[in-house]
Copies of this chain bind each other. A is one copy, B any other.
Amino acid sequence: MVKLRHPETIGLRIRVVLGDGLIIGPGRADLLEGIRDTGSIAAAGRRMGMSYKRAWQLAEALNTTFHAPVIIAAKGGVAGGGAHLTPLGDQVLDAYRTLVRTAQTEGGGSLATLNTARTGP
């Protein structure tokens, strides 16, 4: 991997499109990670600056994307219920993070070229 001049500014935003449409991208991955970290869909959404409604819609979209649910949620209760990832959800999130990391590492030469094209030699 070629070393970049400003590694802190590098970002690859990867959307995985398989079959009918989007499977997972940066937003969906962040929501899954937020649910894993906070145990709550609402809290995961807040962390991303997302409304309660939008976070729930995204969670529902995620749950119909795969062959089985990736998020288990309890909607009711005084505390607003809790949520957690299923083993499949963990697997999806981990595979996506690995994919991005791999692309960033193995694509280091291409990224260095693009960065130099930006800044000048």
Which A residues contact B (CB, under 8 angstroms)?
6, 9-19, 23-25, 65-68, 70, 88, 91-92, 95-96, 98-99, 102-103, 106-107, 109-111, 113-115, 117-120
On whether the beta carbons of B113 and A91 are closer than 8 Å, the reply is: yes
Roughly how many angstroms separate A83 CA and B53 CA in the complex, as a whole number? 47
Closest B residue, CB atoms, query A105? B106
Residues of B within 8 A of A110 (CB): 95-96, 98-99, 102
Query: Taking A67-B119, A103-B103 as contacts, is the C-beta distance between A13 and B15 under 8 angstroms?
Result: yes
Closest B residue, CB atoms, query A103? B103
Residues of B within 8 A of A107 (CB): 98-99, 102-103
Residues of B within 8 A of A114 (CB): 16, 18, 23-24, 92, 95-96, 99
